Structure 1
Amino acid sequence: MSNEGASDLKLFRDALTGLPVSHFWRGYGSTIFLEFGHLKPRTRQSGKPGNPQGELGLMIHWSWRIENATSILCGSWSEEPRWEPTFDLLRNKRVVALSLVGRLPEIVVGLTEGLYVSSFMTAEGDPQWTLFDRRFDTVRWLCVRDGELKTELAKDRD
């Protein structure tokens, strides 16, 4: 990992550590979103309420798994009736660790009570996860592009 990538990861790790999983929701297909810290309401373009956004967030497009200290509790290929009860276990747990594993960086979020959320891409291309830092006017994203950690910036639209 480059010095820049390590520095960016540390910024996200420092910001996430101690924050609760305030909201957990499913996107399209098996995409999951974890929202951390204080929540901000969101309105969809249609005018309907959307899922709230946390100060920081994690999106894992596919594939993912949720683990405890000794086993995989549920994953993106598990039967869907297992998902919601497992998601419920994560709500209000606090972040205790953030790390990357593998030659192509996959993300692992460690939570209180020995729970973990991990990405693990199983198709061609890059790992499909993104961390969002929405605490400031400019939103910072940490993701993987061409096998390396990249930081992208976007002006907050809200």
Structure 2
Amino acid sequence: MFVEIGDLTPRSRRDGSPGNPEGVVSLGIKWSWRIEDQIAIRCGSWSKEELWEPAFETLRGAQITRCELFGALPEVVVTTETGIRFLSFATTDGQPQWHMVDRREKSARWFTVREGQLHLGDGTEPASA
């Protein structure tokens, strides 16, 4: 699952065909995620796929008011102005399986979790270890 945040930049695949646009900030979640409102979980990575699109629609174009880490092993939660929350939460062994790329500066900064701690990299290492 990828969430692109901010102005989008068109991208091309290696074969020259159009690719998915890239945001100023990108959040990638390899394993489990969920979208919740103030009273319930709207859907998650294990929900029926027909529930996904209506939940994704609540995130499209939304103003983000918070992005924070939670848990003893850092997971990420993004909260919109309407109170919709998008959360990562790995349910496998190892490390939390998310990464965030911040392209607001000249050199992109890659945030991941390594050995239970927030790790800052430059994108040259694997997104998750």
Give TM-score scaled by structure 1 length: 0.75
Q: Which residue of 1 aligns with 2:25?
A: 56
Name the aligned partner's letter for residue 129 of structure 1: W
CA distance in 2, matches of 1:146, 1:35: 26
Q: Which residue of 2 aligns with 1:77?
A: 46
Segments of 5+ residues of structure 2 without an aligned counterpart are 125-129
Change in Cα spacing, 1:106 to 1:154, as seen in structure 2 (3 Å) is: closer
Name the aligned partner's letter for residue 61 of structure 1: K
Structure 2 residue corresponding to 1:88, chosen from 57, 60, 63: 57
1:91-133 residue CA offsets vs partner (Å, 9 max, x unmatched): 0111111111111011111111110000110000100111111
SS of alignment partner, residue 108 of structure 2: strand
CA distance in 2, matches of 1:53, 1:135: 12
Aligned pairs, number = 124
Give TM-score scaled by structure 2 length: 0.91
Q: Which residue of 2 aligns with 1:114?
A: 83
Structure 1 residue corresponding to 2:115, chosen from 127, 146, 154: 146
CA shift at 1:37, angstroms? 1.0
Runs of 4+ in 1 over 3 A off after TM superposition: none
Q: Which residue of 1 aligns with 2:98?
A: 129
Name the aligned partner's letter for residue 112 of structure 1: E
CA contact 1:65–1:119 (8 Å) conserved in 2: yes
Q: Does 1:46 find its partner at 2:15?
A: yes
CA distance in 2, matches of 1:57, 1:112: 19
What is the root-mean-square deviation of aligned Cα atoms in Å? Answer: 1.2
Segments of 5+ residues of structure 1 without an aligned counterpart are 1-31
SS of alignment partner, residue 82 of structure 2: helix
1:23-45 residue CA offsets vs partner (Å, 9 max, x unmatched): xxxxxxxxx11111111100011
Name the aligned partner's letter for residue 42 of structure 1: R
Name the aligned partner's letter for residue 140 of structure 1: R
Name the aligned partner's letter for residue 98 of structure 1: C
